[in-house]
Chain A
C-alpha cells in the first residue's frame, strides 16, 4: 500500500464511523421547538453540575486506585502477584448497573449493613441515626470508580512494563528514592497511557446510563433520555448530545496540547531482565491490602452476592437458551474487537507515515462515538443504515426484482456497527499510546531496507506494540459483552445478547432473576482476560 492509500483509507474509515454522529449533529441543527429553552430554564444547570462532579470524582477515584496498583504490579515483587495482576482487571467484567444493584441491596436501610448496625446500637427507625444514602451522587461515583478503575490500571501497567528498566535503574543510581524515581521517571513516561485510561473512564462515565438512573442521579445522559422519550424531541436530545461531544473534544484536545512538547521514545522495549522492588513488612501488607481490597470491592463481593441470588432463584432463572445467548455475545464481541483493532492500526499507522498534524483528525473523529449514550447512538446508527437499506430496495424496485427488505438494519450488522462506533475509541487510544513509544528511527531504518509500509507494520510495529493491541482488543471485547442500550434498540427478531437478557429482568424490577445471566456475562468476559494475561506474562 502506498502512503496515499493509507491516508485515504484512514479518512474513509473515520468518516464511516462518524456517519451516525453526523446524522445526530444534523438533527441537532434543525430548528427546534422551545423544549431546549425550557430545559435551560429549569433542570439543565443541575444536570450539568451533577455530570461535572460525577466525572471528576470517578476520575479521581480511578487514578488513586489504578495508578498505584499498576505500579505495584509492574515494578514490585509481592506474594500472590501472579493472581493479583489479572484479578485487578476483573471489575471490568462486571456490568456497572449490576454492581450498583448489589451495593444498593447491601447498603440501603433494609440491607445487612444497616441492619447489623441497628442491631448493635439498638436504633429503631430511619430517624434514629445517619447513614450515607447509596442512591446519591457519591454512591454512583463510588460504584463507577470501582468498575472503571481497571482501565487506568490496565493501560498504566502496560506502560510501566514497556518502560525500559534501565531508565529507572539510572535514576536510582543517580540518587533517587523509589518514590522520586516513580514521580520523576515512571509517571511522566506513563502519562500518555494514564491519560488515555482516564479519558476512557471520563467518557464511560459521561455516557453511563444504567447506574445513574438506578441511583436517581440526574446527569446529561439521563437528560438526553428524558428529552427524547418524555418530550418526544429527538432534536433537543441531539442538541444535548452535541454539547456533550463538544465538551469531550475540548477536553481531549486541551490534554493533547499540553502534552505536545513531551515526546519520549524508547530505544528498548522493556525486554531486559526485570528486577522489581521486593516489598517487605508494613509496605508489603499495605500493598496487599490495597490491591486485594480493590479486587474484593470491585469484583469478589458483588460476584458472591450474584451467586447467592442465582442459587436462590436458580429454578426460575435457569434456561437452556443461555448457551445461545452466550454464543451471540461472544461472537459479536470478538468480531467487533477484531475490526476495532484493524481500524486502530490503520488510523495509527497512517498518521505515523505522514507525520503531519492534520492526519490526527481521522483518529479524533473515529473516537467521538464513545461519549454518546448508547440509545442516542443507536438512533444515529439507524439513520445511515436505513438510508442504505432504502437505496438497495429502491434499486431492486427499479430493476424489477423483489425487494430484499432490511438487509442492514434488521440484522447483527447494525449492532456490530453501533459497537464499533461506540468502542472504537478504546482500541484507537490503546494502539496510539503504544505506537507513540516506538521510536521513529525504527521506521526510517525499516524503510531504507526497502520495506513497504504495510510490511513494516506487520514486521516491526505489530510485534512491538503487541501488548497495547491485546489490551485494546480486550477492552473493546468486554465493553461489547456488557453494552446494553444500543443492543436493546438495534436487536433483530429473536436475538438476545446476555446483557439484553439480564436487562429484561432488571427493567421489570426483578434483578434477582437476572443474577444468573449476569454471572455468565462475567464468566464469558473472563476467558479473554486470562488469555490476555498469559500473553502479557510470556512477553515479560
Chain B
C-alpha cells in the first residue's frame, strides 16, 4: 500500500515520530530508530552539545532520520523563537517543534505564545510543528500562523495515560486541514493505534518507548501499532452501533411490508 505522509516537503513512510529524551543510554537511539521504522526524531535543543565528545546526543541520531529539534525550556514566544534560530544556526535543519511551557507543574503548553512563535518562525521559512492543547480555536490560529502540522496532546507529557483528549482530538481531525500528530501521553501501542484509527496522521512517542524495559522491542511494537491503526483507518471501520441488532427482532411480527 502506497500511503505516504507528506509534510514539510518530505514524504514519509512511517507515521511514528519518536523522541530522544529519557533513554538510559543514547546508544539505544539508532536501534530504536531501526526497530520502530520511524523517520522523524525530536530532540531538545537544550540537550544538544556540539562540543562534547561523550555527551553529544546528535552523534547517535542516524543520518536518514529527519531531525525535529524542539524548543523545550522556552517559557514564551520570544524564547522559542530564539531557540529555533539557534537550532538552525547549529545545523539542525529547518524543522522545529514549538514547545512553549510556562507551567512546570503540569507542563501544559501555552497556546497564545505558541501561535505567536509559529507565526514568526513560519515566515522565516521554518517547518513549524507546534505542540498544543487540543483546542479548536488555538488550532485555527496555528493554521493562520502558518504551521505545517499541529501536535495536540493525548494526555499531559510523561503521564502515559493514553488518549484522554480523544473527543477534542477528534474535533481537530474533523475540522483542521493540517496533518494532526498526536503528541504526549501515549503510553501503550494500543493507544497509538487508537489515535491512528481515529484518523490522526501521525503519533509522537517518547516516554513509553524510552522508559520501557526493552525500548527496542517497544519501538518495534509502536511501529506496528501505528501502521495497523493507519491501515484500519484507511480500510474504513464498520459503523459502531449503539443498539444491538437482535437476532429475533421484537418488531418482526410487523413483517417486511410484503403481502
A complexed with B: no
- The chain B residues found within 8 Å of chain A, CB to CB, are none
